[in-house]
Amino acid sequence: MAKKISRRNFFNQSFGFGAGALFFNKLPVFKASPSGRTPMMIVAHTNETGKKASETGWKILADGGSALDAVEKTANIIELDAEGMSVGYGGLPNEDGVVQLDASIMDGKTYSAGSVACIENIKTPCSVARVVMERTDHVMLVGKDALEFAKTWGFEENNLLTEKARKIWVQWRERVSDRDDWGPPEHLKKKKNEEAGSNNDFDFDRPAGTTNVLAIDKNGDIAGVTTTSGLAFKIPGRVGDSPIIGAGLYVDNEIGAAAATGRGEDVIKSCASYYMVMRMKEDRTPQQACDDAVNMIAAKYKAINSDFLPGETFRAINKKGECGCARMRSDQKAVMSLINEGGYQLYEGKLHFYRERRRR
């Protein structure tokens, strides 16, 4: 007989959150902002791949390489990790089972940016975004034309849907509704529900995950990348915040850089990354700028009297090499990788407990 699992357990098992937590426990964690040092880099991912990626980027920075090269090569490692299910190759697909990726890159030194949205079949979308930035007069290319552009520049086409991601998608497709024709035939439908171990309400948080990479090099130049497979099982064609300059990523060489993960719809509406950089321009620390972004979005939802609270995490660095991180909900830690001359550490930012407060 099939083992019963709840939907939440199903997703926890499928996405391997447990493994990440184990890794997290082994490392020293900064509770407060370490004094600024440059060069430096922050990476949203904190698992083994995030650490490996951070160390790769750090080598580039320590050798005197550019922040732009460092953020791209760091993000590539996370994009190419088949086990990571929220970025690049191996990412969870849209509701039709197709992996569509969003990515952006911004170079503070040259005040230039590039991005791709809804691109299929390319494992390293942030590198395509870099070519858009450096070899065209545009900022953003989308969909099939972005793929054609990538092929023109020699990027290899690949199927991005791994077996692991495909199985999760099929299971999601079968369980998402009992009012369609997916799953066992009608006379066995009861069995389908029992196997799912749940009733009809599909109560998990939509799995997502994106990475942000922000860096300052030895010359003091700043660059950033945000790259993602976006919200799992999204409507085909949906574009999140990650490829939108000012939303999922923003860099200003005189001030700092900021980036976001989480529910892209809110990050787009609030232009959150641009907002954070502008807060830093007004002498807010990176941590305060991230907190300000959380508070701004929470205030909007409070004003419309909604119980809904999105789950964004914001990250920022300033010109001095200080950093910050804040998350709006307490369901995950506000943490990121930080690497500088002091070595690799986890930086723990601030969790804003709006959800709990509202319940009281």
Lay out the sheet containing 256-261: strands in order across: 249-252, 256-261, 313-318, 323-327, 350-351
Measured from the CB atom, the residue of 198 and 273 that comes closer to ligand ASP is 273
Residues 234, 199 contacting (CB under 8 angstroms): no
What element of type H or E holds 9? helix 7-15
Closest contact distance (angstroms) between CB of 47 and ligand ASP is 15
Smallest separation, CB 1 to ligand ASP (Å): 35
Residue 1 burial by CB count (10 A; 0-12/13-18/19+): exposed, middle or buried?
exposed
Taking Cα atoms as reference points, which of 210, 204, 202, 203 lies closest to residue 312? 210
Is 152 an active-site residue? Answer: no
Active site residue: 124, 210, 227, 261, which one?
210
CB of 137 to ligand ASP, least distance (A): 26
Contacts with ligand ASP, residue ranges (CB under 6 A):
208-210, 228, 230-231, 240-242, 261-264
- Give burial (CB, 10 Å; 0-12/13-18/19+) of 299: exposed
Comparing CB distances to ligand ASP, the nearer of 230 and 246 is 230
The 3-state secondary structure of 168-202, one letter per residue: HHHHHHHHCCCCCCCCCCHHHHHHHHHHHCCCCCC
- Please check whether residue 79 is in contact with residue 219, taking contact to mean a CB–CB distance below 8 angstroms: no
Closest distance of CB 61 from ligand ASP, Å:
25
- Closer residue to ligand ASP, CB minimum distance, 49 or 66: 49
Nearer to ligand ASP, 208 or 335 (CB): 208
In the complex, what is the shortest distance from the CB of residue 269 to ligand ASP, in angstroms, rounded to a whole number? 12
| DSSP-based three-state secondary structure for 47 | coil
Bond prior to 310 in cis (omega within 30° of 0): no
- CB closer to ligand ASP, 223 vs 231: 231
Backbone phi and psi for residue 54, each to the nearest 5 degrees, phi listed first: -60, -40
Catalytic positions: 210
